[in-house]
Amino acid sequence: MDQTKEIIENGEAILGIELGSTRIKAVLIDENHTPIASGDHQWENRLENRLWTYSLEDIWRGIRESYRKLKEDVFRRYGIALTNVSAIGISAMMHGYMAFDKDGELLAPFRTWRNGNTVEAAAVLTKLFQYNIPLRWSIAHLYQAILNDEEHVERIGYITTLAGYIHWQLTGQKVLGIGDASGMMPIDTDKKEFDQRMIGQFDELVGEKNYSWNLRDILPKVLVAGENAGYLTREGAKLLDESGELKAGIPLCPPEGDAGTGMTATNSVAKRTGNVSAGTSIFAMAVLEKELKKVYPEIDLVTTPDGSLVAMVHANNCTSDLDAWVGLFSEFARASGIEMDMNTIYGTLYRKALEGDPDCGGLLSYGYLSGENITGISEGRPLFVRSPESKFNLANFMRAHICSALGTLKIGMDILLKEEGVSIDTIMGHGGLFKTKTVGQKLLSGAIDAPVCVMETAGEGGPWGMALLASYMQRKDEGESLQDYLARKVFGGDQGVRVEPETGDVEGFKTFIERYKKGIEIEQAALDCLI
């Protein structure tokens, strides 16, 4: 306790902040990379004019609230005020579109990764670049705005991601970590910058518009893990800490996306490693030894925070509908006069899923709160369906919803592991789906027919991963790679708890996924009928 107190008083702790889809969390770590305090803020995106968004007011209110709670946690634990830290790192959900004019004014509401309105733009750019451009990437949003003749496009001075925007406001620097940048548009992994050939192709594509800008000039500068990305300004310090106690001048590392922090938090930045992050969305990352043989619309190519090529299978939907069902059971418990905390309810329901039939008893669900590009669904319509012969019980009901949360991921992972023959020594799991021990891990292992490991730190997630990246910038030895820093100084020999796939789970999931793929027509019909 005294040692931790001294670290905080001396300004030697490190701060990581991540803006997830439903929670903003700030984590403070010590010299051993152990979390010593935290604060968070719950928030939700809004569907406005059929687009998912958060307002700037939502963003800054949430950041200030999470930092305020962090300060309170520090004071409650250690009896001291938090006024200084050694380094700061900012991360947020990847992709999306934030466009600003030359005066720094937001030109259009922030469009998050969740929007699937860029089908036309993504198809044109994928063909032009001969490189998969997913619907949620920033370049797809920009080109769709051009195709839609949106008035604001002419006045663009800068586009960035959510993490890039916050970092810019805190430091004045228009930069972005390479992992987050790789979700804006393709990266040249040799030069560690945006692909200049594709930038030229884009400018030529929109040349007849005679805009006052070219693409290169409105994108952030790309930085890799370990580089300095600026310093906290006085104005930035006040944005974080309304009390004015936080000192300016603190160095910041490159802002990153949640995929990069997930890889960092699971020690999955080396070749032949991979991880699955399962929360509001779900995505698998596999660090590649070589390029894929062809372009797949189901597979994104992004990078680690230090610039290695990564195959990413990203599904927009994971636990949101599952959480809604758990909330319904919680409501029933309260109505029955039964007091149960949410951790108990989640644990009880999740563990019940392990009692279900391997194929979920013929039940089928789609937890699509938003569109899903891998399955070709443009907007979400959560759906549960069964036949009269289905085995409808609580165990199968919960198993079907958890398997549905993994369904779209399974389709993409089959391409990577079976068609491309990508080798992954270990899949690391982290995020909310893995908080109940064994359940998510066992079902994921069955879904992808591969071992899945979960570390004790799995629940720490992105904010902790971001703090690790800030620590790497401050504490790395000369010439020390991110891979070596994590392996030697953070994780040591910790390989986590490993679960091997069981034949029954593997075969059962195969049956379930065939039903899932056939049932996509039902989901499309729901979209067509429920406006």
**For position 460, what pLDDT does the model report?**
60
* Range of weakest confidence among 261-270, 426-435, 500-509: 426-435
Look up residue 484 and give its two tokens: 């070596």
pLDDT in tens, 233-255: 999 999 999 999 999 999 999 99
CA gap 236, 244 in Å, rounded: 10
User: Could you give the percent of the chain with pLDDT greater than 90?
Assistant: 87
Query: Which SS3 state, helix, strand or coil, does residue 513 take?
Result: helix
CA gap 4, 181 in Å, rounded: 35
Q: For 437-472, b where at least 16 C-beta lie within 10 A, e where not — what string?
A: eebbbbbbbbbbbbebbbbebbebbbbbbbbbbbbb
* Range of weakest confidence among 349-353, 401-405, 453-457: 453-457
Query: Tokens 């799995």 map to which residue?
Result: 458
**Which segments of 105-233 does DSSP mark as H helices, in order?**
119-129, 138-147, 162-171, 178-181, 196-205, 215-218
Q: Which contiguous run of DSSP H or E holds residue 521? A: helix 520-529
CA dist 233 → 138, 240, 394 (Å): 27, 11, 54
**For position 67, what pLDDT does the model report?**
98
Residue 103 CB neighbours (<10 A)? 7
pLDDT in tens, 479-520: 999 999 999 999 986 778 899 999 999 999 999 999 999 999
User: Could you give the percent of the chain with pLDDT greater than 70?
Assistant: 99
Q: Which contiguous run of DSSP H or E holds residue 145? A: helix 138-147
Look up residue 266 and give its two tokens: 């699971």
Query: Which SS3 state, helix, strand or coil, does residue 11 take?
Result: coil
Mean pLDDT of 256-263: 93
Quickly state the pLDDT bin for 458 (edges 50, 70, 90): low
Query: Which SS3 state, helix, strand or coil, does residue 403 take?
Result: helix
Pairing mode of beta strands 87-92, 256-257: parallel
Output the 3-class SS for 436-459: CCCHHHHHHHHHHCCCEEECHHHH
Residue length of the chain: 531
Domains, the chain: 95-160+185-218 (3.30.420.40)
Of 229, 193, 437, 206, which Cα lies nearest the Cα of 307?
Answer: 193
